[in-house]
């Protein structure tokens, strides 16, 4: 599911199993609204104070979300849209809703006695604060948080006991509550735990099934189709090899290539693989692409010309080198990209290429120089050819080259040096 | 004759590789054993004691690394060459770190494969362009976070040799280019292989995480 699919303003959020404290309902609501989970959790606790309704509401919400909420792939595709104009608006709205609920519920007069409800509420609040750990939190902050939680809970109990009833009464109530809670958890605890595990297992099974379906769909669209094509072309070995290589490259990309994390950016490896694929399709050659350091997303505008220049160089080799294998090596560093296109074919004398030949000068050199880079061609008859492309990656990559001040072209001098020095110089560019 | 064991779970692939190994021009290679699983491979290698084991990276019941680990304590002196279609960098590096002397892809031509087997048999390292790329990647990730004494850095010359290998140069072309002997190129390659095998597991894990491979 992509972002351009229409998304309704309100969605039923999935229960979050990883971040949950009880059933994950608070976290789900918080995600959908765009507020912190602690805010929703405290809201429910405050509602517990209003005659115990928080517990009932929580139970109903959880049941509704686990019944109607998305799961598996749908849950993975869930993208919440924050509500309200700003964060402040969201919290203000939440506060008003909770306040309104408390007032109306208390006015209606339903609910449990304050003597029970208040201590329970404060204890819950304390537990919540203590449990609301952050992932980056160190030991000291955690200790402070837990102490604060315990203090709130204890303070709540004492305050209620002191104000409303005599402390003996409050302690007695507390003791009764604890006994009842212990008894309840002994009775229903194991079965609740079992239901929880079964739910988890079922969910994992569903995730696995979704994954299987995704892989099967991909294999059907790609590998099975190609195998069918290969059967049809069994009398044409070249076409078969071509189909097989194209499929291999596609599958390898799908399996191992990292996909760009930011929309609108590209990665060098897959872009060069595409070039290799296209040239293999048009000419009877093998193009081996090796990419190093391809872990950064790139802006297409700074890279399009590099990729096009590479395509041009590979195509030239495929057309003129009279050899069936071309190696492309790209090294992607933080501040520059270098691409080498190399064949062990017949080679040529760069001085012999007429100056009005557009192939090399326009489509390769000019493309790089436009971005402050350079293209260098090393070749001699019988010794193969190597094209070296260098593109610096900084703000000058998008600046057009100044027309009346041409970039220095080191290759002009190097062209007349002997091959050894030449090659070493080629490997030493910054 | 160099005695070779062939480990691959596809009988067709084994037949193809056997043909390329034995029928290439000037081939001095003889395939003495074949197997399709880790368990069978260990038995076959211990029994036939080949000079070189040509082994697929992925097998139905494990990887080439498991085969190497399974025979290493049983008096086997065979050398390993990993042969595979196209694998994740981490898998290949893992097999190299387990002791394989090289990695080539199945797209390799017959005579080149025979050469690779010969080179492994002589105790040298065999780098395909792809493996050289993986190695450069692994060591350059280390350069970006210096202060890791456990991963030896490549010398400038070793890096140069790896780059040329990744760019598709053969050993003799590299030797000509750098004005050094083929033996020197081979010793650079072997040094890189040794550094890769000695470097710590953590470093490579960090590198893999950097590339978002795990």
pLDDT tens digit sequence for B172-212:
889 988 999 989 998 999 888 888 877 655 555 555 555 54
Q: With an 8 Å Cβ cutoff, is A322 touching chain B?
A: no
- Per-residue pLDDT, B50: 92
- Looking at the fold, whether B130 and B207 belong to one and the same domain comes out as yes
C-alpha A371/C-alpha A407 separation (Å) is 11
Domain CATH for B211: 1.10.10.10
Q: What is the pLDDT of residue A118?
A: 66
- At A333 the pLDDT is 78
Task: Label residue A426 by pLDDT band (50, 70, 90).
Answer: very low
Tens of pLDDT, residues B9-46: 888 888 888 988 888 777 788 899 999 899 999 989 99
Residues of chain A positioned with their CB less than 8 A from the CB of B107: 286, 288
Q: Is the dihedral of CA A390, A396, A398, A403 positive or negative?
A: negative
- Segments forming the whole domain that contains residue B173: 126-214
pLDDT mean over B123-151: 72
Check whether A295 has a pLDDT greater than 50.
yes
For B63, the 3-state DSSP assignment is strand
Query: Token digits for A80?
Result: 């919440």
- Residue A290 is nearest to which of B107, B133, B212, comparing CB atoms? B133
Residues B85 and B137 in one domain: no
The three-point CA angle A152-A95-A158 to 5° equals: 20
Nearest CA in chain A to B208: A295
The answer to whether the CB of A368 falls within 8 A of the CB of A389 is: yes
Is there a single domain that holds both residue B2 and residue B36? yes
Contact A288 B130 (CB under 8 A): yes
CA atoms of A134 and A114, how far apart (whole Å): 32
Among A286, A331, A424, the residue with its CB nearest the CB of B178 is A424
Is the ipTM here above 0.85? no
Q: Of A295, A292, A279, give the one whose Cα is nearest residue A343.
A: A279
Q: What is the pLDDT of residue A340?
A: 93
- Residue written as token pair 């390292």: B125
Residues in chain B within 8 Å Cβ distance of A292:
133, 136-137, 140, 166
Q: Are B17 and B8 in contact (CB under 8 A)?
A: yes
Which residues of chain A are within 8 Å of residue B179 when distances are taken between CB atoms?
420
Mean of pLDDT values over A338-355: 80
Q: What is the reported pLDDT for A288?
A: 87
Give dist(CA B199, CA B150) in Å, integer: 6
**Given CB atoms, is A327 within the 8 Å cutoff of chain B?**
yes
CATH number at residue B36: 3.40.50.2300
In this prediction, residue A120 carries a pLDDT of 67
- Asked if the Cβ–Cβ distance from A327 to B136 is below 8 Å, we say no
Mean pLDDT of A181-193: 70
Domain check: are B117 and B32 in the same one?
A: yes
Contact list in B for residue A420 (CB cut-off 8 A) is 176-179
- List the domains of chain A with CATH numbers: 25-207 (no CATH), 258-427 (3.30.565.10)
Say how far apart CA A132 and CA A126 lie, in whole Å. Answer: 10
Secondary structure (3-state) at A338: strand
> What per-residue confidence (pLDDT) applies to A329?
92
φ, ψ at A336 (rounded to 5°) = -165, 160
Give residue A202's Cα distance to chain centre.
Answer: 26
| A288–B136 CB contact, under 8 Å | no
- ∠ CA B99-B104-B105 to the nearest 5 degrees? 135
Residue the block writes with tokens 């995730």: A207
Q: Are B196 and A371 in contact (CB under 8 A)?
A: no
Whole-model pTM: value is 0.56
Q: Give yes or no for residue A112 having a pLDDT over 80.
A: no
* CB A31 within 8 Å of CB A15: no
Task: Return the pLDDT at B213.
Answer: 46
What pLDDT digit, counting tens, does each position of A206-251 carry?
888 888 877 877 777 778 878 888 887 778 887 788 788 888 888 8
**Chain A contact set for B210 (CB, 8 A):** 295
Tell me: pLDDT of B132 over 80: yes
Same domain, B97 and B172: no
- Chain A contact present for B1, CB below 8 A: no
Asked if A288 reaches chain B (Cβ–Cβ under 8 Å), the answer is: yes
> Does residue A134 surpass a pLDDT of 60?
no
DSSP annotation of A351 reads G
Contact B88 A291 (CB under 8 A): no
Residue A168: pLDDT band (50, 70, 90) is: low
Beta strands B29-35 and A325-332 are unpaired
Cβ pair A420:B107 closer than 8 A: no
For residue A326, list its beta bridge partners: A287, A343
B129·A290 Cβ contact <8 A: yes
Give the total number of structural domains in chain B.
Answer: 2
Q: Does the pLDDT at position A428 exceed 50?
A: no
| B32 and B99 part of one domain | yes
| pLDDT more than 70, % of chain A | 63
Q: Is A380 on the interface with B (CB under 8 A)?
A: no
**Count of C-beta atoms within a 10 Å radius of residue B172:** 11
Which phi and psi angles does B3 have, rounded to 5°?
-90, 125
Taking the CA atoms of residue A21, residue A26, residue A27 and residue A30 in that order, the dihedral angle to the nearest 10 degrees is -160
Domain boundary among B78, B98, B123: B123
Label the pairing between strands A286-292 and B2-7: unpaired
Asked if B157 contacts B186 with a C-beta cutoff of 8 angstroms, the reply is no
Across chain A, which distance is largest between two alpha carbons, in Å? 106
CA distance A328 to chain B (A): 6
Residue bearing the bigger pLDDT, B190 or A22: B190
Please say which residue of B123, B155, B188 terminates a domain. B123
The residue among A254, A288, A388 with the most chain B CBs within 10 A of its CB, best to mutate, is A288
DSSP-assigned states of every residue in B14-42: HHHHHHHHHHSTT--EEEEEEESSHHHHH
Q: Are residues B175 and B155 in the same domain?
A: yes
User: What's the average model confidence in pLDDT over A105-123?
Assistant: 65
Is the minimum CB–CB distance between B24 and chain A shorter than 8 Å? no
User: What is residue A393's predicted lDDT score, i.e. its pLDDT?
Assistant: 81
A298-312, A387-401, A412-426, B60-74: least confidently modelled range:
A412-426
Alpha helices in A257-299 (DSSP H): 268-282
Which of B176, B178, B211 has the CB atom closest to A258's CB atom? B211
Tell me what pLDDT residue A114 has.
62
How far apart (Å, rounded) are the C-alpha atoms in residues B137 and B22?
35
Closest approach of B208 to chain A, Cα-based (Å): 10
Chain B contact set for A326 (CB, 8 A): 168
Contacts of A258 in chain B (CB under 8 A): 211-213
pLDDT attached to residue B80? 92
Report how far apart the first and last C-alpha atoms of chain B are (Å, whole number).
42
- Region A132-153: what's the mean pLDDT? 60
Are B179 and A420 spatial neighbours (Cβ–Cβ below 8 Å)? yes
Same domain, B111 and B145: no
**B158 in the same domain as B106:** no
Alpha-carbon gap, residue A89 to B73, rounded angstroms: 69
Report d(CA B175, CA B164) in Å as an integer: 10
Handedness of CA A250, A254, A257, A259 (dihedral sign): positive
Tell which of B123, B146, B180 closes a domain: B123
For A337, phi then psi, to 5°, come to -125, 135
**How do residues B64-123 score in pLDDT, each as one tens digit?**
888 988 888 887 888 999 988 766 777 788 888 888 888 988 878 888 889 899 989 988
pLDDT digits (tens, 9 = 90+) for A251-290: 877 777 666 556 667 778 888 888 888 888 888 888 888 8
Same domain, B95 and B119: yes
Q: Which of A293, A329, A427 sits opposite B168 (nearest CB)?
A: A329
Which is more confidently placed, A418 or A380?
A380
C-alpha closest to that of A172 among A119, A111, A112, A110: A119
B96 and B145 in a single domain? The answer is no
pLDDT at position A400 is: 34
A336-373: burial string, b at 16+ Cβ within 10 Å, e else: bbbbbbbbbbebbebeeeeeeeeebeebbbebbbebbb
Nearest-angstrom CA–CA distance, B1 and A1: 58
Tell whether B141 and B116 lie within a shared domain.
Answer: no
A340 contacts in chain B (CB < 8 Å): 167
| A329 strand-pairing partners | A290, A340
Whether the pLDDT of residue B150 is over 50: the answer is: no
């Amino acid at each position: 599911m992509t972002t351009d699919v229409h998304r309704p303003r309100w969605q039923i959020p999935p229960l979050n199993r990883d971040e949950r404290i009880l059933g994950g309902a608070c976290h789900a609501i918080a995600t959908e609204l765009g507020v912190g989970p602690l805010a929703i959790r405290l809201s429910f606790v405050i509602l517990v104070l209003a005659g115990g309704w928080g517990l009932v509401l929580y139970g109903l919400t959880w049941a509704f979300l686990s019944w109607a909420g998305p799961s598996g792939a749908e849950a993975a595709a869930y993208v919440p849209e924050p509500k309200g104009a700003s964060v402040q608006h969201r919290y203000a709205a939440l506060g008003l809703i909770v306040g309104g609920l408390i007032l109306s519920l208390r006015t209606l007069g339903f609910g449990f006695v304050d003597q029970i409800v208040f201590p329970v509420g404060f204890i819950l609040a304390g537990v919540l604060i203590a449990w609301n750990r952050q992932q980056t939190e160190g030991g000291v902050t955690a200790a402070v948080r837990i102490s604060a939680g315990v203090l709130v809970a204890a303070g709540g109990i004492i305050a209620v006991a002191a104000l409303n009833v005599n402390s003996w009464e409050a302690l007695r109530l507390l003791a009764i509550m604890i006994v009842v809670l212990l008894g309840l958890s002994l009775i229903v605890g194991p079965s609740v735990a079992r239901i929880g595990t079964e739910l988890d297992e079922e969910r994992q099974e569903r995730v696995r099934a979704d994954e299987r379906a995704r892989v099967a769909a991909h294999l059907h669209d790609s590998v099975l189709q190609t195998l069918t094509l290969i059967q049809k072309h069994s009398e044409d070995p070249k076409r078969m090899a071509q189909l097989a290589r194209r499929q291999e490259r596609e599958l390898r990309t799908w399996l191992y290539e990292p996909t760009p994390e930011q929309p609108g950016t590209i990665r060098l490896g897959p872009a060069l693989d595409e070039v290799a694929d296209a040239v293999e399709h048009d000419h009877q050659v093998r193009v081996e692409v090796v990419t190093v350091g391809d872990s950064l997303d790139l802006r297409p505008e700074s890279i399009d010309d590099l990729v096009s220049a590479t395509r041009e160089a590979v195509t030239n080799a495929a057309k003129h080198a009279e050899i069936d294998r071309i190696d492309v090596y790209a090294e992607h560093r933080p501040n520059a990209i270098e691409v080498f296109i190399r064949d062990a074919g017949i080679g040529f004398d760069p001085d012999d290429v007429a100056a009005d030949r557009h192939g090399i000068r326009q489509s390769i050199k000019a493309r790089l120089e436009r971005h402050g880079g350079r293209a260098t061609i090393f070749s001699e008859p019988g010794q193969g050819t190597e094209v070296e492309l260098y593109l610096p990656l900084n703000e000058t990559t998008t600046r057009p080259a100044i027309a009346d001040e041409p970039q220095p072209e080191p290759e002009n001098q190097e062209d007349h040096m002997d091959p050894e020095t030449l090659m070493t110089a080629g490997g030493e560019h910054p | 004759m160099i005695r070779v064991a062939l480990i691959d779970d596809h009988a067709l692939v084994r037949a193809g590789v056997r043909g390329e190994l034995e029928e290439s021009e000037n081939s001095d290679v003889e395939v003495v054993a074949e197997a399709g699983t880790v368990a069978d491979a260990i038995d076959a290698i211990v029994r036939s004691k080949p000079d070189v084991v040509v082994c697929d990276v992925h097998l139905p019941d494990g990887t080439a690394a498991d085969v190497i680990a399974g025979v290493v304590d049983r008096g086997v002196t065979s050398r390993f060459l990993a042969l595979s279609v196209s694998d994740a960098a981490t898998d290949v590096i893992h097999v190299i770190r387990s002791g394989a002397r090289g990695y080539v892809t199945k797209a390799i031509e017959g005579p080149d494969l025979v050469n690779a087997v010969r080179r492994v048999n002589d105790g040298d390292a065999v780098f395909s362009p792809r493996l050289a790329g993986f190695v450069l990647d692994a060591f350059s990730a280390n350069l970006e976070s210096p202060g890791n004494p456990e991963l030896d850095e490549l010398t400038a010359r070793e890096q140069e040799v790896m780059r040329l290998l990744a760019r598709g140069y053969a050993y003799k072309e590299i030797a000509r280019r750098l004005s050094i002997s083929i033996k020197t190129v081979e010793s650079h390659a072997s040094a890189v292989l040794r550094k890769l095998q000695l470097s710590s597991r953590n470093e490579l894990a960090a590198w893999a995480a950097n590339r978002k491979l795990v």
